[in-house]
Amino acid sequence: MISLGPLLIDLSGKAITPDEQDLLRSPAIGGVVLFSRNYESPEQLASLTEEIHALRSPPLLIAVDQEGGRIQRFRSEFSPLPSPRALGMLWDRDRAEARRLAQCSGWVGGLELRSAGLDICFAPVVDFWQKTSTVIGDRAFSSNPKAVTELALSWIRGLERGGIRATLKHFPGHGGVPEDTHQTAAADTRSMSDLMKHDLIPYRDLIGRLPNVCVMTAHVFFPVIDPRPASLSKYWIQEVLRKEMQLQGAVISDDLTMHALDTQGSLDERARLALLAGSDLILACNARPTLPALLRSLRDYHNPVSRLRLMHLHRSQPLARSALLQMPVWRESVKLLEAFQARTDLFPGERAGG
C-alpha cells in the first residue's frame, strides 16, 4: 500500500501510456486531473478512471473542472450544465428557483461524474462577477455576496448528494483582477478590510457550514497583505483559512505551471513553497519534461495530516452508468436544466448555458 502523495498531474490522451503508468505509481503522486483531451465517451472515461484507480491502493484521486457553462470538460453524452452567471441572474428574480436549479445542477453533474469514476469536481467558483474580469466572467454567480453564498451552497449540496467532492475556488478571490493568471501575474491592491466586506464573505460563511469542503487557492498577489501569491502564502492558508475560518478540508493549489508564478522560481521551488504554505494537493499540468525532477524533489515529503485529509476525498459508492440512465428523477432533472438553458430572457440573445 502506497499513501497518496501531494501531486496531481495530467494525462496526455484517452488512455494511460506505459510511461504514465510508471509516473502514477510514484509515492509523490496523489491523483490525476482530467481534461477534454482525455474524454471521448462515458464508456471510455469509465474505463480510463477504472484503470487509474486500479494502479494503487488506496486509489489515486481523479478530478475535473466541470463548472457548467463554458467550463465543462466532458460534454458529449454528459448533461450541459448552466453557467453560474445565469443562475445568479435568476436569483435576482426568483431566489428559491435559483437555489433549486443550482442544487439540481450540482446533483446532475455529481451523479454523472460519479458514474464515470471521478472523485472531485473543481467547482463551484465563488469569485465575484465583475465586468473587468473576463477570465472569470460568467463562471461567477453574482457580484452579490449573499447570492454567491446561497447558490454555491446549493450547488455543493447537489454535488455531494450526487457522491462527488466539491471545491470552492479561487481563494481568496480572482474576480477583482482583469488579468488571466494562466498567462500573466495579477495583483489585487485591496486591503484585508475591503476583502472581508466582499470577496471573503462566501468563504467564511460556506466554511462555517461545511468545514470539510475543499478550497482551491488562486495565484493572485495581494501585495498590501502579503508579498507571496495566495497559493504560496502561509498567511492566506494557515492564518486565514485554517485558523480564522477553521477549514478542516483539503487545500488545493491551482496549477503551479501557470505564468502568474513565473517569478516564483522553478516548478520544484513553487511546489516546495506551496506545500510549506499549507497546501495538501498541488497541481502540475502540462509539465511532463520537468516531472521526474519534481518527483525526486518530493521523494522525502511526508505530511500525515494532509494524507488523512486526502483519504476523505474519494467518491461515495460506485454508480454504474446503466443504473444512472434508468433513474426517473435524473431524467426529470436533466429536462429541467434543459428548459432553463433554453430561456433567452436572462442573457438577451443568448441561452442560459453561457
Alpha helices, H only, the chain: 18-24, 42-54, 84-93, 95-115, 145-161, 192-196, 201-209, 234, 267-277, 291-297, 304-311, 321-325, 328-341
Q: What positions carry a catalytic annotation?
A: 182, 254
- 146 touches 95 (CB < 8 A): no
- 107 touches 327 (CB < 8 A): no
- Residues contacting residue 215 through CB under 8 Å, at least 6 positions apart: 167, 168, 169, 171, 203, 207, 241, 247, 249, 250, 251, 252
Give the torsion through C-alpha atoms of 146, 150, 153, 159, to 10 deg. Answer: -130
Ramachandran angles phi, psi of 9, nearest 5°? -125, 170
